[in-house]
């Protein structure tokens, strides 16, 4: 954690009023925190574009566990990528469907490649990757 800077920002009063209303709806109690979140979101977005950036990613998968050999295939991919897979959460959505969230860590390109492999596996109905930060650089 670094020292705190206090900077001045000039904003048209109308615009500020709209921003304050928006962040209140979102649950912010502190305007500076809302600004910091805008900045951090922008930085994470940019960092994720570099293939060699150190990132953390979460992959959300929804699949039908009745599909033959699907769990085995997903497990195989994870084991081959075990250096990058930190942890996995499994939720039973209904009689047929599972949701799995994996936390991956590594270079952006590697994280994307593993996510692509999981999402493209037959039987996975929907998948999405979120690229976020290791926290240290934010």
Minimum Å gap between C-beta 36 and a copy of itself is 6
According to CB under 8 A, which one of 70, 71, 103, 107 is a site residue for a copy of itself?
103
Using left for φ > 0, alpha for ψ between -120 and 50, and beta otherwise, residue 135 falls in left
Task: Show contacts with a copy of itself in window 117-136 (CB under 8 A).
Answer: 117, 119-122, 124-128, 130, 132-136
Task: Report the SS3 class of residue 20.
Answer: helix
User: Is 66 a binder of a copy of itself (CB under 8 A)?
Assistant: yes
Phi, psi of 37 (to 5 degrees): -65, -40
Nearer to a copy of itself, 26 or 79 (CB): 26
Task: Show contacts with a copy of itself in window 73-102 (CB under 8 A).
Answer: 86-89, 91, 93-94, 96-99, 101
Compute CA 72 distance to the chain's CA centroid, rounded to the nearest angstrom: 25
User: Is 54 a binder of a copy of itself (CB under 8 A)?
Assistant: no
Minimum Å gap between C-beta 79 and a copy of itself is 16
Show contacts of 86-90: CB within 8 Å, 24+ apart: 86/56
Minimum Å gap between C-beta 13 and a copy of itself is 5
Task: Report the SS3 class of residue 131.
Answer: strand
């Amino acid at each position: 954690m670094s020292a705190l800077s206090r900077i001045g920002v000039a904003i048209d009063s109308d615009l500020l009023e709209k921003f304050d209303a928006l962040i209140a709806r979102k649950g912010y109690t502190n305007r500076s925190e809302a600004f910091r979140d805008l900045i951090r979101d922008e930085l994470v977005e940019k960092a994720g574009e570099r293939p060699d950036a150190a990132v953390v990613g979460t992959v959300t998968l929804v699949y039908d566990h009745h599909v033959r050999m699907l769990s085995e295939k997903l497990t195989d991919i994870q084991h081959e990528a075990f250096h990058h897979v930190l942890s996995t959460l499994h939720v039973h959505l209904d009689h047929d469907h599972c949701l799995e969230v994996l936390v991956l860590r590594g270079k952006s390109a590697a994280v994307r490649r593993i996510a692509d492999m999981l999402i493209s596996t037959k039987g996975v109905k929907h998948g999405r990757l979120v690229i976020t930060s290791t926290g240290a650089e934010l």
